[in-house]
Structure 1
Amino acid sequence: MNFISLLSPAPCRISWREPRVWLVPMLALAGMAVLVASDTNRSLFLVLNSLGTLASDALWENLTVLGGTLAGLTLLAPLIGRRPDILWSLALAAILATLWVHGLKDPIGILRPPAVLPPELLHVIGPAHHYGSFPSGHATTIFTVAGILSLYLRQSALTWLLVAAALLIGFSRIAVGVHWPLDVLGGAFGGWLSAVFGTLLAQHWRWGISRPGKWILGLALAACALALLISPDIHYPDAIMLQRALALICLLPVLLPAFTRK
């Protein structure tokens, strides 16, 4: 059984009765409300950041890069030429996710942990960013990808494996010391809803599954994978090999047919 066989062959149909559509963003929203009402965002960060030191820095570096834009998009590169409907949903969801992240980061202007906490209280891995804390772009990216895949799965029960993986990558942003728990929950909320509404838009605007649309989306996604291969995120040096391996693994299913075709 391969990854693509887990996806439903039929076009996705969004039903708000299905928990996989609404449960993740609602839980994220509830979590944000609790953190704000109880004023525990900072104290929870300190606990979780400290727990992160129980694992190696290299582990968190490798997990956190998977939430980067290039890596997140590259994860779906094997679908090029196979599932243009999913890639079209992803493209529209990515636009919505970008608006969510950049529409809030500067206007809200929440400072990141390294900007407000004494260095001896936190463990930072990689660059100590100071500005643009809410929402987490990495968490938004990985929850957008997880949301898209969840909506197209044959078995909705597998959704929770995707959610667990996305949560672990989101947690890595706390472990590397650059995001509050509130930021990660905000990314989960916005990312999952971007996936839902991107898929809804894709159902009504079908350009992405036209012949030109397929080519443009495929080339754009392949370009993301190539960019990750050639220019990985060097701020996390222990994760450079993983990024390049991910790019190669995700590109191979696309490139091999071209070289083996007679």
Structure 2
Amino acid sequence: MSVMFGKAKSCAECNLVLLGVMGCGKSALTVKFLTKRFISEYDPSLEDVYSSEEFVDQQTVTVRVMDTCDQEGPVNCERYLSWANAFLVVYSINNMESFKGCQLYLQTLALHNKTFKQQTPIILLGNKLDMDRYRLVSQCDGEALAARFGCSFFEVSACWDFHSVQHVFYEAVRRTKREGERGSLARAVCVSEDKALLGIPSVITSCYKELPVPATAKLVTVKTSRAQSKRRAATLTLLKGFKIF
């Protein structure tokens, strides 16, 4: 059962969803936040939800992160629109196509927010700051796009400082709290492979399974139907087939 944000509560829960085209670094950011480590290899075709207990502004928060896989952009987005408390829309500063892809996601989220009185916070996140010499998307372009859709803007590098990445995720939690997300968490929503063709979302109940953890963070995974059909048996890998070093 979820616990609401509030002074009388000792714990809270927040669902964060990472969006963006394949290859922009969503998975690397997820693993950096959860394990403080950078990954070199992973399977970008899998999608999972991970959970970690964090201490944000003197309050324990269960942060759930959905690392999405939208091979065709925000087409079948029902599985995360009603589930998320905040969105992180990611692009690579050295990839203009990923930046253009962000605009499609932001338009979808803006339309979604218009239909609800409670606004879902959105953060536009430029990743791969370590590739600055190959930059194709200027910081001004990122700031302008964020201003256009009324969202926060940051630039980070998944392979650099952990605290910069952590700050962005924590800021998403803070914005959720400020926006007054007080209700119970919605059940995880996914689109199964057979129903995806019909555009019909299906709802699954969260089922947690402990993962082997190479770092101090407590990680739990909620497998979507897409991930269940593609995940291999666990060996020395963690989180979507990532190799952790």
TM-score, normalised to structure 1, is 0.26
- Greater relative contact order (CA < 8 Å, ≥ 6 in sequence): 1
Which protein is richer in strand relative to its size?
A: 2
TM-score, normalised to structure 2, is 0.27
Which protein is richer in helix relative to its size?
A: 1
Structure having the higher Rg: 1
